[in-house]
Amino acid sequence: MRYPVLRPPYVYRWAALLSTLVVAISLLVSMFSPGLDQSPAAAQVAARQDVPAAASTPAEVSAPPADPSLIHTTARTGRYVALTFDDGPDPAYTPRILDVLARNGAVATFCMVGMQVTRHPELVRAVLGRGMRVCDHTVSHDEELSTRTEQRMTAEIQGCWADLQVAADKDVPVDYFRAPAGRWSPPMRAIASRAGMKALSWTVDTRDWAMPGAARIVASAQHDIRPGALVLLHDGGGDRTQTVDALEILLPWLKSQGYEFDFPA
């Protein structure tokens, strides 16, 4: 037995034919119109090609990689010294130190801790406003950072860099990174280098962090000072009254010995 072939009414057959024709015309238009996106996938590819990738590290927005070797000298050769102050900024001591520096025509580098930076952003601006430089000293000053994971090291180093930018309220160069307590590791130096920061060491430890008295701080500096020296001092992390008092004696003495003040290399 043969079954009759069922055909739709003519009106539906014409509708199907018109729909097919519309689709074909749309495809031809998209093929020959370069200004139109051909598909969502094509749009995503074009976006990836046209829009630069977001910066993932400070190095990509601030500076090319720096030499990872430790810095032990001033930028200029000759009878120069570079003063460095760690663990601030501190509202009790940083302004007083800035005043002593100004009275003696001295410049210095302040190695700042991110937690202090976020508490006292106005002091970051004050330091920069006096013509000083800032140095990344990590977010939390974890003295065991060199033993942590690379991810933790990156967070501490790049986090402080970001804190300094926010506190300064402008793009500020951060030329140096100093490890907490001077405890370095190759990964730490590599992370700082990729962020465009030089690894800042010292050659004269005044031991002011031990609070031995202003006279002992001065004597330590005078004994070890050489042309090109990097002097370690502190403006935070404790009572720094002795450091301020020592600077009142040390800076005039340095000038009397023919020294000038410089930044690290």
Active site residues: 86, 234
Q: Which two tokens stand for residue 20?
A: 């097919």
- Asked if residues 170 and 196 have their Cβ atoms less than 8 Å apart, the reply is no
- Asked if residues 222 and 253 have their Cβ atoms less than 8 Å apart, the reply is yes
Q: What is the DSSP string of 208-240?
A: GGG---HHHHHHHHHHH--TTEEEEEESSSS--
Distance between CA 117 and CA 87 in Å, rounded?
10
Distance between CA 179 and CA 199 in Å, rounded?
8
- Asked if residues 85 and 235 have their Cβ atoms less than 8 Å apart, the reply is yes
Q: Which two tokens stand for residue 141?
A: 């000053």
- How big is the chain, counted in residues? 265
Taking the CA atoms of residue 56, residue 57, residue 63 and residue 66 in that order, the dihedral angle to the nearest 10 degrees is -140
Distance between CA 143 and CA 139 in Å, rounded?
11
Nearest to 239, CA basis, from 211, 219, 217, 207: 211
Task: Return the residue matching tokens 């094509």.
Answer: 42
Distance between CA 52 and CA 18 in Å, rounded?
44
